[in-house]
Copies of this chain bind each other. A is one copy, B any other.
Amino acid sequence: MLLPHLTRAAPHLRAASTAATLAAALKAGDALRSRRRRFTEDDVAAYAGVSGDRNPVHLDDAFARGTGGFQRGRVVHGMLVASLFPALIASHFPGAVYASQSLKFAAPVYVGDEVVAQVQALHIKATGARHIVKFATKCFMDDEETLVIDGEAMAFLPTLQLIVEAIK
């Protein structure tokens, strides 16, 4: 079964576009994709403000190239890129509660780069009224070949019925 933003064990398959909002039950193997996201200078500045992380590798091109060793200059905060995972899960499962997340920052994301986040359900277990789901969490450059973040998350979902938002 293919649904917008939902591919089943087929990470590189693009889902068809539709205007409808559908519901389906999450199963092990299902993968959810985010929309493409380009982090702008303003995003990085806003995140630096709210997080307090003013590391010059994120704010100063010359410093990022020199001390940071980032050839193309300022990089997006890794934890800002990683925020795409809980955002993606919550967009399909409002009320999801994050239990854990591991993150390996595999490649830099530069200001202006477009990325796509993907979460794939690895294991689902009922626990009381909720379900706890282990997700593989990956973020790719828009070319879908460069893995920029790899890891796993555990989240409590209030239901396995997911909201499938239409890709506009």
* Chain A residues proximal to chain B, CB less than 8 Å: 37, 43, 46-47, 49-57, 63, 67-69, 77-80, 82-84, 86-87, 90-91, 94-105, 158
Distance, CA A26 to CA B84, complexed state (A): 33
Cβ-defined contact, B94 with A98, below 8 A: no
16 contacts between A and B (CB under 8 A): A46-B46, A46-B49, A51-B80, A52-B84, A53-B87, A53-B90, A54-B90, A55-B90, A56-B94, A77-B83, A77-B86, A78-B86, A79-B79, A99-B105, A100-B103, A100-B105
* A53 cross-chain contacts in B, Cβ below 8 A: 83, 86-87, 90
| Selected contact of A86 from candidates B79, B98, B104, CB within 8 Å | B79
Cβ-defined contact, A97 with B68, below 8 A: yes
Nearest CB on B from A21, distance (A): 16
| Selected contact of A57 from candidates B55, B87, B91, B95, CB within 8 Å | B95
* A67 cross-chain contacts in B, Cβ below 8 A: 94-95, 158
- A81 to chain B: closest residue by CB: B51
Main secondary structure of the interface of A (DSSP, over half): mixed
Known: A57-B95, A95-B67, A101-B103. A52 touches B37 (CB 8 A): yes
* A79 cross-chain contacts in B, Cβ below 8 A: 79, 82-83, 86, 98, 101
Cβ-defined contact, B98 with A105, below 8 A: yes
Cβ-defined contact, B68 with A95, below 8 A: yes
* A97 cross-chain contacts in B, Cβ below 8 A: 57, 68-69
